[in-house]
Amino acid sequence: MRLIAKGFWPGGGSTVKSLRVGLYARVSTHDQQTLPMQLETMAAYAGQRGWTVTTEVKDIGSGSIQRPKRELLMKAARRREIDAVLVWRLDRWGRSVADLVLTLKELNELGVAFVSLTEALDLTTPTGRAMAGILAVFAEFEREVLRERVRAGIAQARKQGKPHGRPRSA
């Protein structure tokens, strides 16, 4: 039985077997090319920790809509096929506070760890859970500020008579 770092898993026991981890990578649009980089970095991190990557989920789409591929990872957690979820950034997993809180709560109740790589966030600890709440609030704030900027830019362009949106089809 492989040992993992003490304190990582609830109970902190040193005889816990190696974690089976699911990787979740997401970009907002097809234009973005960071999915391979996210997955490679997360897989390397998992390997350094001695974890076994059992699932890789690649999602393309806005954080504000339903993400069926993320739901596949949640189903794997419910079936106890994974012990942990590893994401590139917290905002890749969920950008609204309500969504983030609900999914992280469910993972916690299932005994599935959650780790956000770039924020060095481990939600199996009280400090990690507190930080997740703070980061979620700022992620939502950032999203709302960006939305306001986009709306202001569109309004200004329209005021100047510049067309906006998809060109009319023939």
Catalytic annotation, residues? 28
Q: Is 36 exposed, middle or buried (0-12, 13-18, 19+ CB in 10 A)?
A: exposed
User: Do 23 and 35 meet the contact criterion of CB atoms below 8 Å apart?
Assistant: no
Residue given tokens 């980089």 in the structure block:
37
User: Do 50 and 38 meet the contact criterion of CB atoms below 8 Å apart?
Assistant: no
Alpha-carbon gap, residue 65 to 38, rounded angstroms: 21
